[in-house]
Structure 1
Amino acid sequence: MDYEIGTLFPLLSTLKHSFTKSEKKVMDAFLENPEEVLYSSITDFSEKAKVGDTTVVRFCRKLGFKGYHDFKIAVAQELSNSSSNTFGSFNEGIDIKDSFDDVLQKLIGKNIEALQETATLLNKADVEKAVKFIEDSRMTVFYGVGTSGITALDAKNKFMRIGIPVDAYTDGHMQAMSASLLTEVDTAIAISYSGSTKDTVDTMQIARENGAKTICITHYAKSPVTKYADVVLLSGYNESPLQGGALITKIAQLYVIDVLYTEYFRKNVSMASKNKSRSGSAISDKLY
């Protein structure tokens, strides 16, 4: 829909009598704390409202949005519009009046916070299980779209250097085809901050149905993609809808990838060191 800032709450008021009993629960949960929606997956929010995910989607569509994500963007625009001194769609917490040094320090602080939060969220047993999956696999494939797709490509590049059979796909059609050919000797790793990206979720479902071991890297412990993951690895940082693709989010994802890589390397140091040396030598003549 062509959303106009300032119309969301009036629209809720005009439509409230047309909502079903379940949809009114969604409205009440939202009005109780609108800001909570910004950092909640659809599963988190539906649990708060004590309804199913489909009820939340129906509620959003009744308001004229395509789905929950578009609704979140509208909410973010409404809330950021109330403060004219911050870059709501650019980087929350940075004020227009901040000095250059202030900006530098705030960005450093946010990145450190995201990394520390990710370190706290990562579970040793889950990381070890994920590394074992990679060790035992014929092929490990990373999946992601948008910014998470770039992370998937980075992961492929990193693991390929130490001799692991690995690939990455960022296109929905290619993801589906790849996942359909995986078997019980393969591992699929999905990367999605929201855990609600349809192409990525569908790909993981296909991979799981074909017997592949599955891992997901996401921010939300209860999101659609986790339903098809044998191992869930959580990355930190609360990204608002207006910060889609934030670099801080990507840094947190890359940190998880780096943890997996480092733990694999430590457990297979002889082979990994040898292959890293060989791959490094192969491209040495590309440098001046």
Structure 2
Amino acid sequence: MNRVEFSQRIAKIENPTETERRIIDYFDKHFMSIPYGKVIDICQEIKIAKSTLGRFMIKIGFNGFQDFKKSTLRPEQRRNISPIEHFNKERNIASGIEYIARHFTETTENINSTFAKIDKQDLEKTISLICDPQKKLYVIGSATAHSLAEYFYLLGRYIKKDIILLDANIANLPHKLVDSRKGDVLLAISYYRFSSVTTRLIRWFYQHRGETVVITDRAVNPFSHFATALLLMDSRHDGLFSSRSAGFVLVEALVNYMGEVTGNELGDNFNVMESLFEEFNVFNK
């Protein structure tokens, strides 16, 4: 069931009560993240009892909230299916060269379709937030997304002094977040299957610190509810693993643009960084 089908069910309610109107408004605003929500959290935000939400679900044709979730999420999302389960072993590949060529084609398609469909308002918002010299920037990504986050961080350190790389070790997060303040920005990268640590951090940061930018590959996800800006990446791939190509290109473009708009501080940072490389003999001469 998609948003349109849900709206059609809602439209059949005659003279909705004030409480029903609050539920409808909440579901309309947060439709893409609600399937990953917990009943107790949703009811707290709407300020209703669980039984009230249950009765509303029955009124619009579901057996309850869990039934609604099942109708909204695809089967693989409900079971958090692993890559090997959806891997198609029956495809015929003539050669390794053919496979590589097809991979390049799919990568190009992912990149182009991502930019064509990306929410330009959210992209403008993202650029404004991460380029603001007054805002401290926190970056996180779990599993494969950690590599993208680290890439952004390593290049970003040339440009921005107040940038902190977080990791998915939940015991370390309080140490890294202790100096965070209202108005700071979190850049979070999370692909399906979504990291529970990243999800919890996005929610906490949004509620207690400020702005959150989320890069992900699924429109239905657990954190769009708590994203100031949400950037959706195409990640289609016929192979074992979904593609991270569009996310990498976006991260690379963002960090390079940060360099474009940075003032005198850019030269100072580069000079200090290069002197440190020299001091520790990091690169071969």
TM-score by structure 2 length?
0.64
Distance 2:135 2:204 in 1: 18
Partner of 1:109: 105
Aligned partner (choices 250, 268, 282) of residue 286 of structure 1: 282
The answer to whether the 8 Å contact 1:180/1:210 transfers is no
Deviation at 1:54, TM superposition (A): 3.8
Distance 1:239 1:197 in 2: 21
Deviation at 1:281, TM superposition (A): 4.4
Q: What is the DSSP-based 3-state SS (H/G/I as helix, E as strand, rest coil) of the residue aligned with 2:213?
A: strand
Partner of 2:94: 98
- 1:73-92 to 2 correspondence within 5 Å? 73=81, 77=85, 84-86=89-91
Partner of 2:252: 258
- 1:145-156 to 2 correspondence within 5 Å? 145-156=142-153
Partner of 1:92: none
Distance 2:190 2:230 in 1: 11
Aligned partner (choices 165, 169, 177) of residue 166 of structure 2: 169
Deviation at 1:210, TM superposition (A): 1.2
Q: What is the DSSP-based 3-state SS (H/G/I as helix, E as strand, rest coil) of the residue aligned with 1:237?
A: coil
Unaligned runs of at least 5 residues, structure 1:
1-40, 60-66, 87-94
The answer to whether the 8 Å contact 1:190/1:204 transfers is yes
Paired residue type of 1:119: F
Unaligned runs of at least 5 residues, structure 2:
1-31, 38-60
Partner of 1:122: 118
Q: Deviations over 1:210-229 (max 9, x none)?
A: 12211100112331111111
Paired residue type of 1:129: K
Q: What is the DSSP-based 3-state SS (H/G/I as helix, E as strand, rest coil) of the residue aligned with 1:236?
A: coil
Q: What is the DSSP-based 3-state SS (H/G/I as helix, E as strand, rest coil) of the residue aligned with 1:193?
A: coil
Distance 2:258 2:65 in 1: 37
Distance 1:53 1:198 in 2: 21
Paired residue type of 1:225: F
Paired residue type of 1:115: I
Partner of 1:34: none
Paired residue type of 2:147: I
Distance 2:275 2:136 in 1: 24
TM-score by structure 1 length?
0.64
Cα RMSD for the two superposed structures: 3.6
Deviation at 1:147, TM superposition (A): 0.7
Aligned partner (choices 196, 202, 205) of residue 204 of structure 1: 202
Deviation at 1:137, TM superposition (A): 4.2
Paired residue type of 2:117: L
Aligned partner (choices 261, 275, 284) of residue 269 of structure 2: 275
- Compare the two structures and name the one with the higher helix fraction: 1
Deviation at 1:148, TM superposition (A): 0.9
